A and B are shown apart, each in its own frame.
Chain A
Amino acid sequence: MTLWQLIIKEIRYQKLSFYFGITAVIVAVGVLIAELTLLETHDLQTKIILASKEEEMKEEMSIMEDDYRKIMKILGFNLLILPEGQQLSDFYAEGYATKDMPEEYVERLSASNIMTIRHLLPSIEQKIRWPEQGMKTIILIGTRGEVPFTKRDPKEPILVAVPPNNIVLGYELWKSLNLKVGDKIRLLGKNFQVSECHSQRGSEDDITAWVDLKQAQKMIGKQGRINAILALKCHCQGNEIENIGKDIKRILPNTQVIELSSRVITRAEARDRAKETAEFVLTSEKYYRAKLRREIEGFAAWLVPLVILGCIVWIGFLTFNNVRERKTEIGILRALGLRSKQILFVFLAKAVLIGIFGALFGYIAGFIIGLTAGETAFNSETIKTLFSPFLFLLVILTAPILAGFASWVPALLAAKQDPADILRNK
C-alpha cells in the first residue's frame, strides 16, 4: 500500500469532485490556449495577407511601370539638340544654351529622311534686360514654331509659332507690369502686341517673353542663329537615346544631343507614386491587423486572468470541501502514524493530478477551439506550424503548480489538524 494508491482510490471514490476540478482546469487552460492560438492564427494570417498584398503590389507596380514604359514609348523621347561646343555645365547653370549654331541646321534635319524624330522646334534664347521696363531681367525666346519634315506627310503641329510683332508673356511679367492680351508694349525698341498671357508655371517660364524667331535674332544681334532645337516624340528601336543621337549626329555633325529629364522624372514619379500607394495599402492593412490583434489581446487580457483566478478559487474550494469531508479519515490516518507531511502530500498530489489532466485536455480543447475559431484553415500544416512544444510543456508544468498553489491552504489545514480533536469530537 502506497500513498499514490490511496490517492488514486480516493479519486475513484470521489469521481465527481475530481471531474469538477479537472473541468475547471480544462476551462482555464482551454481559454488561455484558445486565446493564444487565436492570436497565433491571427499573426499567421496577417503574415499571409501582408505577403500576398506585397506580392500583389509588386505585380501592380510592375504592371504600372510597364504601362508607363509603354506610354512613354508612345509619347517618345524629348530631345534637345545643342551646339557641339556648348558646355552642359553652363547650359544647366544658365537654364539655356549660351552657344549658338546656324538656323540652317533645322532645315537640314527637316529635309533629311530621319524617321526617329517627329517634331522640330528651333529657338534662340537669351537672358536680357528690358530697358523699357526699368531694366527688368527677362528671358527672351525666339521661336518659329514647328518646322515640318519635307519628306513626310504633314502632321498637326504640337506647338504654334508666335506671329511676328506679337509677344507671349510669362505670368510674372504680365502680372507685375499689369498687362493683358491686346496691350501694346515696347521691347528693345520694337513694338509688340500681347497675344497671350500664360498662367503661373512656377518656373523660369514665368519671366519669359516669346516672340517670333526672326525678330528675336535681330533684337539680340544673332541673325540666322539658333541655340537649340527641341525634338519631340522621338522614337527608335529599343528606345535607346544613343541610336537617335547617332542619327542626328550623322546629319548634324557639329551638334550634341541630350534627353530632357521629363521622361526620367515621369517614370521615377510614377514609380514613387506606385510605391507610395502600395505602402499606404500595406500600412493600412498592417494597421487594421494590429488593431484587430489589440482587440483580441484586450479581450484576452481580462478574460484569461479572470478564468484562471476563478479556476484557482474553485480548486481551492473543492480541496477545502474534500478536507472537510475527509476529516475523520485524516484523524485516523494521523492516529495510525502518518506524518503531517504525508497528509499534505495526499491533498497536494491530488491537486497536481487535477492540474496535469486538466492541462492536457485543456490544451487539446483550447488548441482545437482556437484553430476552429481562428482565421487560418484547420489542417495538419497549420497544426504543425502553430503547435508549440514549449508552450505545451509550460502549461503541463504550470497548471499543476497553480492547482497545488490553490490547494495549499486547505491541504495545510488538513495536515495541521489535531487527530485527538477529531477523534474526541466523533
Chain B
Amino acid sequence: MLSIEKLSKVFQGPKEIIRALDGISLSVEVNEFVVIQGPSGSGKTTLLLSAGGLLAPSDGNIIIDNQNPYQMSSDNRARFRASNIGFVFQQFYLVPYLSVLENVLVPSLAISQPNLRERAEKLISHFNLTDRISHVPGELSTGERQRTAMARALLNNPKLLLADEPVGNLDNENADIVLCALKEFADSDGAVLMVTHGDRAEKYAHKTIQLKNGKLL
C-alpha cells in the first residue's frame, strides 16, 4: 500500500542545512499496522507528512497504492489524499465551531461520496460518541476529541491511515480505544503507519521500527 524508497528531506535552517530524513526506505502493506518509534526531533512528523502527500521529499520516492502523489498537480494530490489517506494527529485539529457530526463530515467537503452522513453516524456510534453528536470540541473530553478525529479520518474509507502521536495526550483507557481502532482498521484491509515516541502501541503493531536522527535503525 505504502512504499517509501530512499526518502530524504532537508530543510534550510537559519545557519545550516537540517537533514530531517536521511535515505529512509520502508513499506506498509495492506492489513499491516506499522509503528515508527523515535524521540522528539528524530523526523517522525516529517516522515508522516511526506508519506501523506503533504511534504514533498528532497530525494527518494513515495508510492501510495501504486501512485506517486508528488507527480500529481496540487489539486489532484488533494483529491488523492481525500480519497485514499486518513490523518490522525496528537492535537486532534478539530474545527472548534463544528459539532462532532460536522467535524466527522469535514472530509466530505473535499470529496463527495454517497451516504456519508449515515457512515458518519455509524462511526460516531462505533466510537461511542452518539450522545455527544451535537457537541462542539470545546465541550468534549480529550479522549472524545481524539475519537472524533479517528471517526473523521475514517469517513472517506481511506486505504491508508497515518497517525502522528495519536495517543500522546490520552489516558490509558482512551489510548487503548484509539490503538484498538487503528488495529481494527488495519485488520479490515487497511494499512496504518503510526509515529510515536512512546512504546504503548507496540503490542498492537505488526511491526515497530526505530527512527533516530532521520534514519531508521
Contact = CB atoms under 8 A, between A and B. Distances in A.
Interface string B59-87: 00000000000000011001101110001
A339 B75 contact: yes
Given A334-B78, A420-B49, A420-B54, A426 B105 contact: no
Contacts of B52: 335
A423 to B, nearest CB: 6
A1 B46 contact: no
Greatest chain A CB density within 10 A among B74, B110, B152 is at B110
A10 B78 contact: no
B6 to A, nearest CB: 20
B98 interface: yes
B26 interface: no
A337 to B, nearest CB: 2
Interface of B: 45-46, 49, 52, 54-55, 74-75, 78-79, 81-83, 87, 89, 91, 93, 95-98, 102, 105-111, 116, 152, 156
B111 A337 contact: yes
A424 to B, nearest CB: 6
Given A1-B102, A335-B54, A338-B109, A328 B93 contact: yes
A223 to B, nearest CB: 125
A377 interface: no
Interface residues of A, number: 29
18 contacts: A1-B109, A2-B109, A5-B102, A6-B98, A9-B98, A10-B97, A14-B97, A328-B93, A329-B93, A331-B93, A332-B89, A332-B95, A336-B82, A336-B109, A338-B110, A342-B110, A419-B54, A426-B93
A3 B107 CA distance: 11
Interface in A6-20: 6, 9-10, 12-14
Interface of A: 1-3, 5-6, 9-10, 12-14, 328-329, 331-342, 419-420, 423-424, 426
A13 B75 contact: no
Given A336-B152, A337-B82, A337-B111, 10 more contacts: A1-B105, A1-B116, A6-B109, A332-B93, A335-B54, A335-B87, A337-B78, A337-B79, A340-B75, A420-B49
A340 B77 CA distance: 11
Q: Is the interface of B mostly helix, strand, loop or mixed?
A: helix
Nearest to A12: B97
Contact of A423 (B54, B79, B102): B54
B198 to A, nearest CB: 19
A340 B74 contact: yes
B72 to A, nearest CB: 12
B93 A9 contact: no
A342 B52 CA distance: 20
A50 B49 CA distance: 77
